Amino acid sequence: MAQTKPRVRFAPSPTGQLHLGGARTALFNWLFAKHNQGTFLLRIEDTDLQRSKSEYTEQICESLQWLGLNWDENIIYQSQRSKLYKDAIDNLLENGNAYRCFATKDELNQYREKDGSLFYPGLWRDCSEKDIQNKLDSDTPFTIRLKTPNQGSVSFQDEIYGQIKVQASEIDDFIIARSDGTPVYNLVVVIDDHDMKISHLIRGEDHTSNTLKQLLIYKALHYDIPIFVHLPMILGEDKKRLSKRHSATGVQAYQKSGYTSDTMINHLALLGWNPGTEQDIFTLQDLIAQFKINRVQKKPAVFDMQRLNWISSQHIMSMDLKKIHTHILSLHNNWGKEKDAHFLLQIIALLKPRCKTILDFVDLSDYFFFDPKMYDAKMAKKKWKTEETSQYMNSFTKILEDGSEWSDSEIEKKLKQFAEKNELKMGGVIAPVRLAICGIPNGPSLFSIMSLLGKKTCIRRLKSAINTLPLK
């Protein structure tokens, strides 16, 4: 199809949330359109009235918008296009490329048991008009089947996988409209894509068999055939197809888990697409500039949580403190609500290098707001196991209490001097102090934490630990 600027679409079914595979398909369509100054469209395939739900449509749209994948024209809903489908079916019947099939399930089963094949045996393919009219007059239910070629082959050139070809005999006269008159997926997709002037069909590799059938429909309706691009499948870390067993597969689940949209876009882009450089971290604008469909690989992509977390940590490290604060509040609007913004931004700066997700800031920051209610038992038994520890901690607390200056450098200086005077290792003093101040064995610089918390809070926590430890 000769077209300067491509028109592509993402066409999810609203029978569930937007999952990772769908999000990757939407992203590749969107990037292809934006890189080539084209148009990205959204179509909701909601013809399955029993399973389609408006809440899923809303979730899909919200997920796409969160990812930054906004569509360029009004959303198309298949459920509102029944006349278009009916007209196409009538056209196929009139031009002889489709026919009514009155075969019952029992008849088909008898033939299948006899031949040992699931293929439709063409019972009504060449029946006379008189026989057909008699069935119509008696209100006998019927389906509508496409009259597929008996000879030759069906093939197309895929932009990723090259030529895909099957013998025409491998595709039987498949149903294009059910006995209740509703059109099937393969028919409506072709009609919609033609009507929407779609130039490139970019979708999962699992659609390859559908594409072969759809090609026959394109030809039967005398439609221009688009360019086909089939994307590699996404596998879990167990190398099996990604599914619910691989933890959260819905985009909103990752959003609620503290991953940013930039992180998800970055990771999804690298699932099957090779940038051709050593670059791993991309912004959306980077991806638009660099995305080329011919760099999509054939090999299935593996969704690696460890890599996702690393990409997330890199995006967090490059993120502005205020932006991180905004992200935190979007997930936990009560986080640090009684503290001023400056204090909160300092917490974020200290925790930044240790966080893989936005939720990590919430999970790792309790001791900035609350005195420890309990202490890490393993560290307490190892680093505060005797009354002697309480004695020298009491002495160090008095030194801090008597001092006038309170800064990270001054606290570090006093702790170092105390350790040297009492012939203790620095770590032997830092560990119990950290336990008293934070309740846990690790975290950012102890001296930076103490400086931020302030003298009064630190003295109170030290005294509380001295009265509580060692653990009995």
Of 331, 326, 238, 301, give the one whose Cα is nearest residue 23. Answer: 301
Q: What is the CA radius of gyration of the chain?
A: 32
CA atoms within 13 A of residue 346's CA, in its CB half-sphere:
15
Task: Say how many domains are in the chain.
Answer: 5
Q: Indicate whether 221 and 354 sit together in one domain.
A: no
d(CA 155, CA 173): 17
Q: Indicate whether 452 and 405 sit together in one domain.
A: yes
Q: What CATH number does residue 194 fall under?
A: 3.40.50.620
Q: Is residue 1 part of a domain?
A: no
Q: What CATH number does residue 389 fall under?
A: 1.10.10.350
Of 361, 380, 415, the domain-final residue: 361
For residue 183, whether the previous peptide bond is cis, meaning omega lies within 30 degrees of 0, is no
Check the CA dihedral 276-281-287-293 and report its sign: positive
Of 183, 240, 252, 185, give the one whose Cα is nearest residue 214. Answer: 185
Q: Indicate whether 261 and 408 sit together in one domain.
A: no
d(CA 444, CA 447): 9
Q: Indicate whether 309 and 332 sit together in one domain.
A: no
Give me 135's structure tokens. Answer: 């069935």
What is the H or E stretch that residue 267 is in?
Answer: helix 261-269
- SS3 call for 360: helix
Four-point Cα dihedral 324, 328, 334, 335, nearest 10 = -70
Q: Indicate whether 196 and 70 sit together in one domain.
A: yes
Q: What CATH number does residue 148 fall under?
A: 3.90.800.10
Q: Indicate whether 206 and 166 sit together in one domain.
A: no
Give me 189's structure tokens. Answer: 């997709």
Residue with token string 């594409």:
211
* DSSP secondary structure of 64-98: HHHHT---SSPPEEGGG-HHHHHHHHHHHHHTTSE
Q: Indicate whether 337 and 425 sit together in one domain.
A: no
Domain that holds residue 190: 7-76+186-235
CA distances from 259 to 19, 119, 251, 304, 309 (A): 15, 47, 10, 14, 9
Note every long-range contact of 294-298, with CB atoms under 8 Å and residues 24 or more positions apart, other chains counting: 294/159, 296/28, 296/159, 296/160, 296/229, 296/231, 296/232, 296/272, 297/160, 297/232, 297/272, 297/273, 298/160, 298/161, 298/232
d(CA 257, CA 175): 43
Q: Is residue 388 part of a domain?
A: yes
Q: Is residue 448 part of a domain?
A: yes
Of 361, 393, 414, the domain-final residue: 361
Four-point Cα dihedral 58, 308, 438, 472, nearest 10 = 100
d(CA 229, CA 217): 18
Question: CB neighbours of 213 closer than 8 A, spacing ≥ 6?
Answer: 146, 171, 174, 186
Q: What CATH number does residue 262 fall under?
A: 1.10.1160.10
Q: Is residue 366 part of a domain?
A: no
d(CA 336, CA 321): 15
pLDDT tens track of the chain, all 472 residues? 445 799 999 999 999 999 999 999 999 999 999 999 999 999 999 988 788 899 999 999 999 999 999 999 999 999 999 999 999 999 999 999 999 999 999 999 888 888 778 889 899 999 999 999 999 999 999 999 999 999 999 999 999 999 999 999 999 999 999 999 999 999 999 999 999 999 999 999 999 999 999 999 999 999 999 999 999 999 988 888 876 555 557 999 999 999 999 999 999 999 999 999 999 999 999 999 999 999 999 999 999 999 999 999 999 999 999 999 999 999 999 999 999 999 999 999 999 999 999 999 999 999 999 999 999 999 999 989 899 999 999 999 999 999 889 999 999 999 999 999 999 999 999 999 999 999 999 999 999 999 999 999 999 999 999 999 997 6
Of 310, 334, 361, the domain-final residue: 361
Q: Is residue 330 part of a domain?
A: yes
Q: Is residue 449 part of a domain?
A: yes
Q: Is residue 267 part of a domain?
A: yes
Q: What is the pTM of this model?
A: 0.93
Q: Indicate whether 171 and 104 sit together in one domain.
A: yes
Question: CB neighbours of 14 closer than 8 A, spacing ≥ 6?
Answer: 44, 45, 46, 52, 53, 54, 56, 57, 60
Q: Indicate whether 346 and 305 sit together in one domain.
A: no
Q: Indicate whether 223 and 162 sit together in one domain.
A: no
Q: How far apart are the first and last CA of the chain?
A: 79
How many residues can be counted in the chain?
Answer: 472
Q: Indicate whether 389 and 300 sit together in one domain.
A: no
Of 428, 430, 419, 433, give the one whose Cα is nearest residue 465. Answer: 433
Q: Indicate whether 455 and 376 sit together in one domain.
A: yes
CA distances from 343 to 2, 105, 367, 408 (A): 59, 72, 13, 15
Q: Is residue 410 part of a domain?
A: yes
Give the per-residue pLDDT at 113.
Answer: 83
- SS3 call for 38: coil
